[in-house]
Structure 1
């Protein structure tokens, strides 16, 4: 799970981070101390409390197969996770196995922090190709895909019924989305048709792909923000705000965009698959919502695919066991444990149906079907550097202080400079 528009660090701070990781790569290598059969403890760092019970069950399953190995799960909230991780690995330490995401992956892999997993028997065919690509660097697989998330359109059935609007369907286009949002908007009641958030993964990364554009080239060297397709993908959302079908950027700053949906003040809200269990457990909306595929743009209804990878610390004192556990925690047995909890969609092919079945009240198959046309989450060697630029400029576009045309022209120039700096 990842919202790419979370305020990022500055380019200078990211340069310091990269330097710290480079310093780490020069540290002495660890040894596989557990190879003699003695008792071993592996630290496993995660960031999602909702997933901790499943991770504990996975750890217990590994210990059952390896009685001398104990897995110590270390939970750190996401907002602190990468700061803590950077500090630890820069000092030559850090957890033996830990969660990794796409935006940070190449920075860690390119600086020798991660151990390649090519010799762990991980079959690429067992996972969505987009995730294998996401966690491959310089020809080697460094992350074992643990789960994945795609994006779909959640809607409030009560608000649709009250307005006499048909529910979203698989053949919806952007025009249908905009027309429905207008009909569902009721200024007197303070109800909006949709919350047009400045979220990359959930909104404009998807619509840029649906318009035939890209945020960054597949090799991470060229920005796509200067294209007409990117502009079309951005203006889908800013036009909804301008039309009054969505709260303003300021309103969605004062009250989170998702809170508009949760409180029944927004009829539609695009969200990742992680939202399903949260909505099912929310008594205010659990029985009032359902989910449909994304509306199609000029080139289709593509969703971004992202997911967590299990990685092994290259400097772990228990490197061989750490690599084995990273692969195990993303394998079929672990995937089935995850699926039954309903918290995330497991990445291992053939195990996702249990996740769909865990919450039969919702049409969750749409998230699995989205794999057919999914596009990889946009990343480069130092993604966070241009994420910060992206967030700053697009916040002005969403607020209306910069036109989409001017904002994307500026973003394209500054993002390209950041990408060029990655190869220096």
Structure 2
């Protein structure tokens, strides 16, 4: 009996020592608890592969990602966003991901398509991550503002924000997080696409040009007015906290953010929050943005097979899908786990999140081969930020951005 136990223990130790360890890196701290739970479940289900979790701050993350280009040591699985993907893929820093036919068929092609180059897949999006609208129902009720549950317009949202901007004792309450709604970034771009926008870069044949047209200018002005004209959002001088922090503290009535923030609101048990439908602009159907962040395998990884096994499990295994949905996060196969998602968020009007998915937009999805995309978007962001912080007039910022974007795009192939 003792000999049998000894052999079993020796075999167990041998398996453990033979396990392949892979490093998984992400910048998204809002998912930390969910990610750690997923990794624990994966490690248990596939003991031959052990995953190590690395949460890296945004700025530091991209510094470390530079090692992918130089071929230096790096992580085995990393998060990637669409804005940076063309650069890293074009530099040969990402390894093709080979999935079996069953897995490929299960993944929604609308989400994997932006990460395909020359019919090879280089990234697998980890769930749809739509831009959504949150409201503080307590403030809505306190100020007598109707709570939107199925639909509302941009003008109604602005009217609500005006009523939700008031003094409560010595505390300033704001209507909305206007500082986050820069029109060239995902939250503000959701209004731009809803107003009929077609994209900030136009492709004609093999050439590209900036497309900061009248729709972009009008949408930008409407969003900028929330800060400087309507005064329903804190400006750069008035904001001692970020918008999500003010919403969490009960100091903001409307927050345009991502669907991934739900775990953050649990930090304030008294916060009576709910999803609201995305507002329509000019009577048009809303087209909010979906952030298609994906899992990628750097070329420098020494454990590519194990990395791909982990990616496949994260995106398609029923266990992983259920775990995400039960935590109020949309899994990759979101539509298949709608009931679990809604059950995790009772009374939060979460059905509006699913209602907007069919009409959501993946930004820059047609620009996957544009190697200079990160530089172009950086220039655009810098110029628009001057307007948002009150350091430039909006028409001047748009004019300067157009000129500098076009200069960069002239070199694009």
Alignment TM class, shorter chain as reference: 0.7 to 0.9
CA distance in 2, matches of 1:191, 1:72: 42
State the partner residue of 2:26.
46
State the partner residue of 2:193.
209
Q: 1:191 aligns with which of 166, 173, 176?
A: 173
RMSD of equivalent CA atoms: 2.9
State the partner residue of 1:264.
250
Q: Is the Cα–Cα contact under 8 Å of residues 150 and 273 in structure 1 kept in the other structure?
A: yes
163-172 or 266-275: bigger deviation? 163-172
State the partner residue of 1:226.
212
Q: 2:96 aligns with which of 116, 123, 137?
A: 116
CA distance in 2, matches of 1:419, 1:159: 46
CA distance in 1, matches of 2:35, 2:243: 30
Cα gap change, 1:335/1:382 in structure 2, threshold over 3 Å: closer, same or farther?
Answer: farther
Q: 2:225 aligns with which of 220, 236, 239?
A: 239
Is 2:301 the partner of 1:316?
yes
Shift of 1:182: 2.4
Q: Is the Cα–Cα contact under 8 Å of residues 44 and 73 in structure 1 kept in the other structure?
A: yes
Q: Is the Cα–Cα contact under 8 Å of residues 258 and 269 in structure 1 kept in the other structure?
A: yes
Q: 2:57 aligns with which of 59, 77, 93?
A: 77
Cα gap change, 1:204/1:54 in structure 2, threshold over 3 Å: closer, same or farther?
Answer: closer
Shift of 1:371: 0.9
Shift of 1:378: 3.1
Shift of 1:96: 1.9
CA distance in 1, matches of 2:43, 2:166: 56
Shift of 1:91: 3.9
SS in 1 for 2:54: strand
Q: Is the Cα–Cα contact under 8 Å of residues 325 and 331 in structure 2 kept in the other structure?
A: yes
Shift of 1:143: 0.9
Is 2:263 the partner of 1:273?
no
Q: Is the Cα–Cα contact under 8 Å of residues 310 and 327 in structure 1 kept in the other structure?
A: no
Shift of 1:57: 4.4
Shift of 1:408: 1.6
State the partner residue of 2:346.
360
Deviations 1:211-254 (A, max 9, x none): 11122347996455421111122122112223334234323554
Q: Is the Cα–Cα contact under 8 Å of residues 207 and 236 in structure 1 kept in the other structure?
A: no
Give the TM-score normalised by the residue count of structure 1: 0.80
Give the TM-score normalised by the residue count of structure 2: 0.82
Q: Is the Cα–Cα contact under 8 Å of residues 335 and 347 in structure 1 kept in the other structure?
A: yes
Deviations 1:34-78 (A, max 9, x none): xxx964222222333453454444445545554433223333233
State the partner residue of 2:394.
404
Structure 1 residue runs of 5 or longer lacking an equivalent are: 1-36
Q: 2:407 aligns with which of 408, 417, 424?
A: 417
Q: Is the Cα–Cα contact under 8 Å of residues 97 and 313 in structure 1 kept in the other structure?
A: yes
Shift of 1:129: 4.3
Size of the aligned set, in residue pairs, is 384
- Structure possessing the higher radius of gyration over alpha carbons: 2
CA distance in 2, matches of 1:41, 1:124: 25
State the partner residue of 1:27.
none
SS in 2 for 1:71: strand
CA distance in 1, matches of 2:91, 2:411: 16
Q: 2:361 aligns with which of 346, 371, 375?
A: 375
CA distance in 2, matches of 1:221, 1:147: 32
SS in 1 for 2:280: coil
Cα gap change, 1:237/1:41 in structure 2, threshold over 3 Å: closer, same or farther?
Answer: same
Q: Is the Cα–Cα contact under 8 Å of residues 31 and 260 in structure 2 kept in the other structure?
A: no
CA distance in 1, matches of 2:36, 2:176: 38
Shift of 1:188: 7.9
State the partner residue of 2:70.
90
CA distance in 1, matches of 2:343, 2:63: 36
